[in-house]
Amino acid sequence: MTAPKKYVVGITDHMFGAPDLEAEVLGDDVEIEFFASTDEASFDPDRLARLDALMVWGARLGSRSIAHLSRCRGVVRYGVGYEKIDLSALADAGIPFANNPDYGTEEVADHAVAMILSLHRRLWEHDARARGYTSGWQVHSLKPLSRSNRTAVGVVGVGRIGTAVVNRLKPFGFRILGYDPGQPPGHEKAIGYERANRLDDLFAQADIVTLHCPANDQTRGILNADGLSRLKRGAILVNTARGELLDDLDALEATLRNGHLAAAAIDTLAQEPPREHPLLTAWRDRSDWLEGRLVITPHNAFYSDHAAIEMRHNAAQTVKILLDEGRLRNQVTA
């Protein structure tokens, strides 16, 4: 006769099929309740009421579901961001919440730096235009194109990933500016960047701006039409952080069309998959005016085979520690 399970852990969804790795980490005394859905409305109240802990990937978690988590000891998100989690409702229910910050740092930093270097050297534009050259070859250099040691990179958010980006960029000789009011005085000296005390100071000086901050009340729409207009003319923009930071596609299209923005590389969009928009149509159609100047990747900067395992293992380990020891690491408060 099989012994009854000691705990029940819910998993809303994830992109990797059956939660076998999670089951291995959590152990034989844990039953997994796999909802396999990102639609919160589909979560059965009776199934929610059984849970001792809940792991969330892409689903929203609001008061509707939280009201039924009557025995839940904690909610853990697989990823770093928690914009879709109602922290206030969790707090009101007395349920602690944790994210999963210690995975994928290397991958996102590598992805951002690859975008920075490729747009700085205009590689995608060279590749696109070289296909149509019928005479000459080397004469078709794209201008302007500056040296890295004559170029300033502004890093908005110098936390784990922003710091990893700074460390990767330093050997290339870029002048590196950093804006992050959450970092203590002297952080810039320890890491090796110039602190910008005002975001506008960074925008005015940076030839390349790369975003590595969360989406919150202070940062949502940070690069709307007004924010984009404050960038240095001819700047390059890279966003591997949150789509909500750059959610005005009309403004992005206008600044790319008029040349105020030289190029942009985006890994996260405010709506995914993206809605129809003239800018995205031009990108899909490889329109001549945009060719090589807009790069979009499908929100996979975090991904490598190693990071996927690390993410799932670390999130499950957080739940295991909660159930076995009663403490929640990486706890986030409202």
Count of CB atoms within 10 A of residue 28's CB?
11
Active site residue 272: yes
Whether 105-296 and 7-103+305-332 are alike in CATH topology: the answer is yes
pLDDT at position 3 is 65
Full pLDDT tens readout for the chain, 334 residues: 566 779 999 999 988 888 999 999 999 999 999 999 999 999 999 999 999 999 999 999 999 999 999 999 999 999 888 889 999 999 999 999 999 998 889 999 999 999 999 999 999 999 999 999 999 898 999 999 999 999 999 999 999 999 999 999 999 999 999 999 999 999 999 999 999 999 999 999 999 999 999 888 888 899 999 999 999 999 999 999 999 999 899 999 999 999 999 999 999 999 999 999 999 999 999 999 999 999 999 999 999 999 999 999 999 999 999 999 999 999 998 7
User: Phi/psi zone of residue 159: left (φ > 0), alpha (ψ -120 to 50 degrees), beta?
Assistant: beta
Q: Which is catalytic among the residues 242, 244, 253, 291? A: 242
pLDDT at position 215 is 83
pLDDT at position 166 is 98
Q: Report the relative pairing of strands 331-332 and 97-98 from DSSP bridges.
A: antiparallel
Fold assignment, 105-296? Rossmann fold (3.40.50)
pLDDT at position 176 is 98
pLDDT at position 121 is 96
pLDDT at position 1 is 53
Residues in the chain: 334
Cβ atoms 206, 153 nearer than 8 A: yes
Cβ atoms 36, 13 nearer than 8 A: yes
Q: Which is catalytic among the residues 68, 277, 299, 313? A: 299
CATH number of 7-103+305-332: 3.40.50.720
Cβ atoms 298, 66 nearer than 8 A: no
pLDDT at position 2 is 62
Kindly give the interhelix angle for 160-169 and 105-120, rounded to the nearest 10 degrees. 40
Domain ranges of the chain: 7-103+305-332, 105-296
Q: Which is catalytic among the residues 24, 71, 147, 272? A: 272
Instruction: Give the three-state DSSP class for 7.
Output: strand
Q: What is the DSSP letter of 275?
A: P
Kindly give the interhelix angle for 123-130 and 105-120, rounded to the nearest 10 degrees. 50
Cβ atoms 127, 151 nearer than 8 A: no
Active site residue 299: yes
Question: Which contiguous run of DSSP H or E holds residue 54?
Answer: strand 53-56
pLDDT at position 33 is 96
SS (H, E, C) 82-140: CCCECHHHHHHHCCCEECCCCCCHHHHHHHHHHHHHHHHCCHHHHHHHHCCCCCCCCCC
Cβ atoms 106, 305 nearer than 8 A: no
- Chain centroid offset of residue 171 CA: 24
CA atoms of 137 and 130, how far apart (whole Å)? 8
Cβ atoms 282, 290 nearer than 8 A: yes
Count of CB atoms within 10 A of residue 140's CB?
12
